[in-house]
Structure 1
Amino acid sequence: MNVHDRYHGVWQRTLLETPTERDTTTWVRWLQTGLWHGDLRVPPDADRRTHAGRAAQQGFGGTTLITQPDRAQPEVCTWQRHIDLQPPRSTPDAGHMVFASPDVVHETGIHGAYFEVWERLPGSLGTRIALAALDDQGAPTAERLLVSGRYLMHLRPRRTAWPADTAPDDTLAEVVARHPQQAEALLDFDIGFGTLEHGVWTIERATVAEQEGRVRTCALQRTSQSEAMVKCPALPVHWQVLEWHAPD
């Protein structure tokens, strides 16, 4: 089931309000294609050269579901997280969505007390691509590459499993503190976001701070109905096409 086109694009969070917090400074981008999403959140004071700073970030990807179970209530947007930098949650990531204008949407938490304002970035409509990296045997993996308009997000999940004592709603910082010997493996989750223009991907924000500002040649080519090639340093070459909408 595809997401309505009013949700397509890249959304910048400009406000988060909770009973105890008002945040206008965390860098947040939500990229939404016809079905797939990617999300990256970087606190302004996170020193990502340290384990604590890297663990303070948030990022996830998966599919998006829009429903309206109660016609008296606004639409419900549920972000079904297939991969997540943070440990699993005990409740779904879902909010009531109200469009204040075509490019501004207000989100009110369903399973948590929060209010968020999202603003769509200019130039983020048009092309919509979602790819899954293929392994050496040609099977799709959880690694994703998403394009919306002039923006590209790459998401590669960690390769290690959560420790057995990880509980729902633990934070990554708590898990790393309990298992310092596994810190590097637990923090090995790579998300990069930036612009893709004229065959060049410029990384604006990334979970690995050293990647920010890097410029990479990047070309996406659909080779069949189900497969594509990506020519970009540090990314796999062969991908499965999950979604490909590229208007002329």
Structure 2
Amino acid sequence: MTQVPQRYLGVWKRRLIQRCSGYSDSETAVYWLQTPRLFADLRIPKNPLPGLTLESLSDSQRQALCKQQGFAGVTHVDADICQWHRKMDYQPVSGDEDIGRMHFETNDCLIETALDESYYEIWDRLPLSLGAFRGQWLQAMDEPSRQGCLLLAGDYFMFAASRPEPLLPGTHLQELFSQAESSKTTASLLACELSFGQHHAGDAPWKIGCSTLPAKIGQFLLPSLVDPFAPDIFANDAVLSSLGTFIPAGGWRCAPDP
């Protein structure tokens, strides 16, 4: 699969989604980080929750987390058609295509329209996301089917990791949540991490500003001594053994793009 055009690279923040049904949303925090091949997308509704672990949240607070979205994989662009091939997903896999028609209003403003014109979205590129663009797909050392990625764009990073225990099929996470028999089960349903933040070129710890895990917000993905521009960052055992909240027993290893 070829690389995406240079003009797509960076972090895009959604300003607005408008559907033909009349629904619109400008409140959900939506970030799409695009590298030459890999992407990750994080969507957190405006519903602040306390910075507690999943186990410490109330049942209603955990249920609110079911509305989050996040996914990662590989992007393919053909003329003005952009398709995101999701290889890991916060929600149950639906099989629906994620595809849109793209139009650049300016270099830093992108309009996405559904092929059937059922919605349009306005995306703005974050200025500090220009610079180096790098991404690495990951596999758990002890369980290769468990996947993740670490993506870098300018001053920003996105880390994504699938659950230690995969989801059963379902139409929506809320459906699986309602069928769970214990608080331990509901917590495991939510143990998919997508964390987004800034590293300030290694001058400060990699601070997480937005995450599917409320306890991670304001915390650090990696210490400041980890240079985001180091050529061997993805071969650094200290990095691969410490990424994320639910770290595999043997850490992560680099894997080919999915």
2:134 pairs with 1:129: yes
Normalized per residue, the structure richer in strand is 1
- Of 150, 154, 161, which residue of structure 2 is paired with 1:149? 154
What CA distance in whole angstroms lies between the structure 2 residues aligned with 1:201 and 1:94? 31
Q: Secondary structure at the match of 2:206?
A: strand
Partner of 1:240: 254
Partner of 1:28: 30
What CA distance in whole angstroms lies between the structure 2 residues aligned with 1:197 and 1:157? 26
User: CA separation of 1:58/1:137 partners in 2, compared to 1, >3 Å: closer, same or farther?
Assistant: closer
User: CA separation of 1:230/1:21 partners in 2, compared to 1, >3 Å: closer, same or farther?
Assistant: farther
Q: Which one is further off, 47-56 or 143-152? A: 47-56
Identity of aligned residues (%): 29
- Of 92, 95, 99, which residue of structure 1 is paired with 2:100? 95
Normalization by structure 1: what TM-score? Answer: 0.83
Q: Could you give the per-residue CA deviations for residues 146-175 of structure 1, whole angstroms, max 9, x where no partner exists?
A: 001110110011122332xx34xx111112
Give the alignment of 1:1-248 within 5 angstroms.
1-18=2-19, 19-45=21-47, 47=49, 49=57, 50-68=61-79, 75-110=80-115, 113-136=118-141, 142-163=147-168, 166-167=169-170, 170-181=171-182, 182-199=185-202, 200-215=205-220, 216-218=222-224, 219=226, 220=228, 221-223=230-232, 228-229=235-236, 231-232=238-239, 234-235=242-243, 239-240=253-254
Contact 1:127/1:147 (CA < 8 Å) preserved in 2? yes
What CA distance in whole angstroms lies between the structure 2 residues aligned with 1:180 and 1:129? 41
Contact 2:137/2:147 (CA < 8 Å) preserved in 1? yes
Uncovered stretches (5+) of structure 1, i.e. residues with no partner: 69-74, 244-248
Uncovered stretches (5+) of structure 2, i.e. residues with no partner: 51-56
What CA distance in whole angstroms lies between the structure 2 residues aligned with 1:46 and 1:195? 20
What CA distance in whole angstroms lies between the structure 1 residues aligned with 2:145 and 2:134? 16
Aligned residues between the structures: 231
Normalized per residue, the structure richer in helix is 2
Q: Secondary structure at the match of 1:123?
A: helix
Q: Secondary structure at the match of 1:173?
A: helix
What CA distance in whole angstroms lies between the structure 2 residues aligned with 1:201 and 1:52? 28
User: CA separation of 1:161/1:44 partners in 2, compared to 1, >3 Å: closer, same or farther?
Assistant: same
What CA distance in whole angstroms lies between the structure 1 residues aligned with 2:150 and 2:122? 25
Code of the residue aligned with 2:191 in structure 1: it is D
What CA distance in whole angstroms lies between the structure 2 residues aligned with 1:100 and 1:24? 19
What CA distance in whole angstroms lies between the structure 2 residues aligned with 1:4 and 1:14? 22
- Alpha-carbon shift at residue 205 of structure 1 (Å): 0.5
User: CA separation of 1:180/1:79 partners in 2, compared to 1, >3 Å: closer, same or farther?
Assistant: farther
What CA distance in whole angstroms lies between the structure 2 residues aligned with 1:7 and 1:95? 14
- Alpha-carbon shift at residue 230 of structure 1 (Å): 6.0
Contact 2:40/2:73 (CA < 8 Å) preserved in 1? yes
- Alpha-carbon shift at residue 111 of structure 1 (Å): 5.9
- Alpha-carbon shift at residue 17 of structure 1 (Å): 0.6
Contact 1:46/1:57 (CA < 8 Å) preserved in 2? no
Q: Secondary structure at the match of 1:217?
A: coil
What CA distance in whole angstroms lies between the structure 2 residues aligned with 1:143 and 1:114? 29
